[in-house]
Structures are given as structure tokens and as C-alpha cells.
Amino acid sequence: MIFNQNILLLLAYLIGSVRLQELPRITKKILPEIKRLGETGMLNCTVARQGSNMVSWIRPKKDQITENDKISIEEHLNTIVDGWPKYSVYLNVRGDQRTYTLVVRRLITNDNGTYTCRVDVRNGDQYVSTEGHMIVLLAPAIDMTRTSATVIVQEGESTVLSCAATGYPYPNITWIRTNGRNLPKPYNKYSHKGNTLTLSNAQKEARGVYRCIADNNVIPTAKQDITVYVKFRPSAKAVQTSYGQMQNMFLDVTIQCIVAGYPQPELKWWKRTAGGREEIKNDAKHAIEVIHSHGQTLGVSEYWLSLLIRIVTANDYGEYECEGTNEYGKGFAVVEVYETSECQGANCILSDDKSSMATRTYFSAFFLFITLLVCLI
């Protein structure tokens, strides 16, 4: 009796083993497909001993795309563009192995994910399956809804700059200053990685343009510039502290300074006198010009202030002040205009001693003639 039971168990094991060996199986690992947005991706599933069993591809949203070498997904999900459908499947047979290649065209972000190759066994509830990954690369793009715009901060206070980006893989964010200087304290370095940049105890030196760069190794990178204004009392500095020019020679001189401040300061020129100082305005003798951009010389909240003094005479020599004033106070710089024995500036054509003497004599005589003519009139 025991012998018969052992025989039956052995037969059951052998029958089960044969059936197990007859089951279909997926023989190869499905390699991941990495493609850029808009390209075509392909995944291969190789099945041995398929027999009459059904092989299907299932997309990440769990929709069945294929039945063997036929497309089974609904038509509205398999749109045709430029003569090609969104999904196709191709069959390649080698011996008892069949390779089903799923083709996904015009890849979009929703195509990214895990695809399942599944073999359903007929006349039973068994199946075998394996997964493959479609990776759709997406270049970075700045998400403006989560990125700072223009920032205004009071001197001594703190603020946080934010930058966010979309893309796949998820982009890394790097901060720099567009003027090439180091980031302000507490960073004190050229760049910083992270979605936020904290400006603690912001000083006027922290003003400027900050650039966030999003990068995920998919070209091109994305970038966004954020301008930071710091409210502070104006300051001024002379482009050069003194300017020389001959008198009574119908020669001009231009003096210049740079004024910084936010909010934008009121800009003025003054001439120091024995009794104090006198404001200079645009007239026949003077021309004041304010330049908001001067190549790479000016930074944020800086202004190039120039004063043209026409036909320099002895009364024009002395000290001048360029001044900026806003609600936080004022700042000024002093510039001196002094007499020289030679013509100064780009309009001085003659440079040798004899020519210079001749030029001075000519202009002196001409100036004297004009003066006498005015007196006679």
C-alpha cells in the first residue's frame, strides 16, 4: 500500500514537472529604453514555448496595448500623425522563441514609466510577466509659478530667492551672480546648489542680478535671472578725482562720477564757493547727463553722472560735488577742475611744443577779438 502511494506521488511530481516545463517563459531581460521627448522608443519581449498562449504589452496606465502581434488599444489612444500610429508591434520568430517589439512614437512625458510584457496561459489562471522601463528625457524648463521675480529688500533684512524647474530627470538648481562675483554671506563662494538662496542681513553689496541654472544633463539647460534691489542711502565716487584744462581757449571739460542708491536718488551737481555751494543746472554753460547703463561699468542701482563745462575760464576752476539724495539720506563725491598750460582731451590735435604755442596764441587772439566785439556791441 505504501509502495503504491509513493508511485502515485512520483507520477504526480513528474506530470507537474512536465507541465511546468511546457509553460511559456520570458527568456530575456527587457532592457530600458532611454529617449528624448518626441523621439521613438522600442521595447523587446522574447517568449519561449508560447504555443497558443497570448502575449500582451501593457502600458503604465494599465491599458493593454497589444494581443500578440496585433494592436488592441482603443483607436482614440492610438492616434495617427504623419501617417504613423502612436503604437505598433512587430514579431520576429527564431525557433521556438518569439520576440515582440513594442514601438511607441512621438514620446511625451506621459509615455514615461514601466511597461509590462505578460504571457497569459490558456485554460488556466496562470501567467508570466516581466517589466521594462521607458525613460523619456525632458530638457529643463523654469517653472515661473514657483520662481522668484524681482525682489526688493531693506538693507539689513533677509530675503529668500526661489527657483524651480521641470524636466526628467529632475533638474538640479545652481545659483550664480551674473557679474561674476562671489555670492554674498554666508556663502562667500562662486555658486550654490539648491532650490533656494538665502540673503541674510542683506547689505547694498548684495544687490544685483542672480541667475538660477537648471540642469539635468539633457541639453539645453534652463536659466532665469532674478534682480535684487536693496534699499540704501546713496553713495558716490568720482570716476577720477581731478580734471585739467586750459582757460580762455574755447575748450571744454567733462567731469564724471558714479552715484548708487535705491530708490533711485535725485542727482545734482554743485560748485563749491566761498559762501558755501551753488547748484549747477543745464544752461548755455553747462550740460548735465545721466546714464543708466554704461557697458559693464555700472551695476544695479548705479548711475553715471557727467557734467560738461563749456569754454573753460578761470571762474570754472575749483571743486565740484556730485550728489545723490533719496529717502534714506544723501551721498556725494568731490571732483576738482584745475588749470593746465596745455590743451587736455581728445580734441587736442597738435601736440609738439611749437604747434601747441601756435595754437594757444591763435585761440588767445581769437578769444580777445570776440571779447572786444561783444563789448563794442
Average pLDDT value for the chain: 89
Q: Which residues contact 132 (CB under 8 A, 6 or more apart)?
A: 30, 31, 32, 33, 43, 44, 45, 114, 115, 116, 117
For 52-79, the pLDDT digits (tens) are 999 999 999 889 999 999 999 999 999 9
In the CATH scheme, what is the homologous superfamily, with its name and number, of domain 143-231? Immunoglobulins (2.60.40.10)
Domain with CATH 2.60.40.10 in the chain: 24-138, 143-231, 239-363
Please indicate, yes or no, whether the overall pTM of this predicted structure exceeds 0.85.
Answer: no
CA distance 235 to 231: 12
**Alpha-carbon torsion, ordered 138, 144, 147, 148, to 10 deg:** 150
Query: What would the grid cell of residue 305 be?
Result: 553722472
CATH fold of 24-138 reads Immunoglobulin-like (2.60.40)
**105: pLDDT strictly greater than 60:** yes
- Residue 243 clears pLDDT 80, i.e. is over it: yes
359 phi, psi to nearest 5 deg: -65, -45
Q: What SS3 class is residue 108?
A: coil
The strand pair at 33-36 and 41-48 is best described as unpaired
Contact between 145 and 159 (Cβ < 8 Å): no
**Angle at CA 174, nearest 5°, toward 168 and 175?**
145
- Read off the pLDDT of residues 168-205 as tens digits, 9 standing for 90 and up: 999 999 999 999 999 998 899 999 999 999 999 999 99
Indicate the pLDDT class of residue 370, thresholds 50, 70 and 90: low
Nearest-5° angle of CA 15, CA 121, CA 53? 115
Which of the given ranges, 7-11, 15-19, 334-338, has the highest pLDDT on average? 334-338
Within 8 A by CB and 6+ apart from 337, the residues are 242, 243, 244, 245, 253, 255, 309, 312, 316, 317, 318, 319, 320
Give the mean pLDDT of 155-166. Answer: 97
Class of the CATH domain delimited by 239-363 = mainly beta
**Grid cell in block for residue 20:** 511546468
